[in-house]
Amino acid sequence: MKIIVESHIPYVGNSLDDLGEVVRLTPDEITREAVADADALIVRTRTRCGAPLLDGSAVKFVATATIGTDHIDRGWCASRGIEVHSCPGCNAPAVAQYVWSSVLRLRDCVEGAVIGVVGLGNVGSIVARWARSLGAKVLACDPPRERATGGWDPENPAAAGSEPFVTLDHIARHADIITFHTPFTREGGDRTFHIAGAEFFDSLVKRPIVINAARGGVVDTPALEKAICDRRVSAAVIDCWEGEPAISRELLELAHIATPHIAGYSIEGKQRATASCVGALRRFAGAKVEQPAPIVPPPYNLAMPFGERIVASYDPLADTAALRRDPSAFEALRNHYPLRHEVAL
């Protein structure tokens, strides 16, 4: 096999060498010509996988070391017999770490606060579970899960239960903190493109903190900028941006925390994603799959209160300062990010 692996994906090592030729390329180098004779690709979000790149190629397997797949034309791939693999949940603890580390720097106390979690999937469920540990009340909005299960379990937010889901409008009226953890979709009844738009921001009641660590297009950038200027939003935390890497300089200055799409960039999360992609490709090739040795994090002071442990584990203000110093370095900051350890529970 000829396998192309995006060069910024870590922890690949020699795990695929026995399958054939492994070629490491940057996103800009993964072109139609480069993939023409490749059998498999392992990529990230900057490589769009569909007809423009893959038509006429030998590719029969595409893995993305990310939770999202909006950069992959899954329908086209399926029609051409191309297997697609993604890594849902691989970086969920790291994104929850990012969310709560940000919130706890913007609020001295979250006990008794109401957090609206929009999208109670892999990430949102952890955010909600940690909210309970921190003494915050959770409102969850997730129409697909609501249709499937009717309710959710506050003790285990990933499971079905008796707690009712609420509407986005209800969250807009009652939440002190609103965080988005939805996939990005432009079509259908559950489309998420600009669900946080002008109408949403106009309906806010409590001047909440608004967090986007999902996908840039979930939030309408000009509408958020206006909401901040109109003081309808008390603080914005933005990790995912419309038009990346050409981000809004106005939003960069208005946001209290602004980072280059690195919320999920933990050592453990990257290891999980790479292991998932490698394992899927090895199964596709009929080869033996071996689990990598886990990376052992440094010791944490488990006697420290959980909120203090979260804050000590990661400082998003340092990443904000780096992006503000040079917004044009968005991709470089992302591609060469010094991966952090996740917080110990």
Positions annotated as catalytic residues are 215, 244, 261
Cβ within 8 Å of residue 119, ≥6 positions away: 141, 142, 180, 181, 182, 183, 214
Question: Is residue 336 packed enough to be buried (19+ CB in 10 Å), middle (13-18) or exposed (0-12)?
Answer: exposed
Cβ within 8 Å of residue 199, ≥6 positions away: none
Answer for the pair 67, 44: CB distance below 8 angstroms, yes or no: no
CA-closest candidate to residue 31, choices 10, 8, 59: 59
Cα-based distances in Å from 187 to 74, 79, 329: 14, 20, 32
Helices (H) and strands (E) in the chain, counts: 14, 14
Answer for the pair 219, 201: CB distance below 8 angstroms, yes or no: no
Rounded-to-integer distance, Cα 151 and Cα 224, Å: 30
Rounded-to-integer distance, Cα 154 and Cα 129, Å: 7
State the DSSP code for 340: B
Cβ within 8 Å of residue 193, ≥6 positions away: 184, 185, 186, 217, 218
Answer for the pair 83, 62: CB distance below 8 angstroms, yes or no: yes
SS3 of residue 279 by DSSP: helix
Structure tokens, 243: 């038009």
Cβ within 8 Å of residue 298, ≥6 positions away: 341
Cα-based distances in Å from 272 to 2, 8, 165: 23, 15, 30
